[in-house]
């Protein structure tokens, strides 16, 4: 029996390893619909418009925001980011699972629109390890690292309302936990409200 799509929301402080985990999940489950966010930040080298983000001017972002086009939006490091609502609803209705990789403030807003989603928070094993990882990337200056660490502390204070916590110490273990969380969420009765009745009436295919 066809089911509705799962909303899987993944949040993590930068440096916690979210991108690697999400990439692995999408490799194993390529059927995932991915919500492409809009942003006012300029593209980084290698990023493509319409693939990584929809890159918008401030004016265009503001116009769409005022129209209620975004399921949630947030200002992160001075740039605006928003999740378009119409394509998301369309994918869910088609039974496509949709993955969101957004910041904590955005996730809190999204939960008001999509409360049945699975909200996953990925933690680093410790602040010391997070700092090491941020330095190891070699892409941020000292001020940026300090800002990301302060932001990580803020974000972790919000971790209490999430549905699942995954500590990314060992990558394989963290991935197994993310995968299990996703698979468990596909079994939720609210995605197939007529299933049991269908079984009882021999309409289960």
Check: CB of residue 110 under 8 Å from CB of residue 45.
Answer: no
The answer to the question of residue 155 lying near ligand 5GP (CB under 6 A) is no
The answer to the question of residue 74 lying near ligand 5GP (CB under 6 A) is yes
In the complex, minimum distance from the CB of residue 200 to ligand 5GP, in angstroms, rounded to a whole number: 42
Among 76, 159, 167, 195, binds ligand 5GP (CB under 6 A): 76
Size of interface with ligand 5GP, in residues (CB under 6 A) = 13
The answer to the question of residue 36 lying near ligand 5GP (CB under 6 A) is no
Among 32, 61, 81, 162, binds ligand 5GP (CB under 6 A): 81
Nearest Cα residue to 182 out of 10, 4, 1: 10
The residue sitting closest to ligand 5GP, measured at its beta carbon, is 106
Nearest Cα residue to 118 out of 175, 192, 59, 183: 183
The answer to the question of residue 6 lying near ligand 5GP (CB under 6 A) is no
Task: Report the alpha-carbon distance of residue 199 to residue 205 in Å, rounded.
Answer: 9
Check: CB of residue 34 under 8 Å from CB of residue 99.
Answer: yes
**DSSP 3-state of 166:** strand
Check: CB of residue 70 under 8 Å from CB of residue 85.
Answer: yes
* Residue ranges binding ligand 5GP (CB under 6 A): 14, 37, 41, 72, 74, 76, 81-83, 101-103, 106
């Amino acid at each position: 029996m066809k089911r509705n799509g799962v909303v899987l929301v993944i949040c993590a402080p930068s440096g916690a390893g979210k991108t690697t985990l999400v990439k692995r999940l999408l490799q194993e489950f390529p059927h995932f619909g991915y919500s492409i966010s809009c942003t006012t930040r300029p593209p980084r080298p290698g990023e493509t418009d319409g693939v990584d983000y929809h890159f918008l001017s401030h004016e265009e972002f503001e116009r769409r925001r005022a129209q209620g086009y975004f399921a949630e939006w947030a200002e992160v490091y001075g740039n605006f980011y928003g999740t378009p609502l119409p394509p998301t609803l369309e994918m869910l209705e088609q039974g496509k699972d949709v993955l969101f990789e957004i910041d904590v403030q955005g996730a809190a807003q999204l939960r008001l629109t999509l409360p049945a989603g699975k909200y996953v928070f990925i933690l680093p094993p410790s602040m010391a390890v997070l700092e090491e990882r941020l330095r190891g990337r070699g892409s941020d200056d000292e001020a940026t690292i300090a800002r990301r660490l302060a932001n990580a502390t803020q974000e972790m204070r919000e971790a209490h309302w999430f549905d699942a916590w995954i500590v990314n110490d060992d990558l394989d273990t963290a991935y197994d936990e993310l995968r299990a969380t996703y698979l468990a969420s596909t079994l939720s009765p609210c995605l197939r409200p007529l299933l049991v009745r269908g079984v009882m009436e021999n309409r289960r295919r």
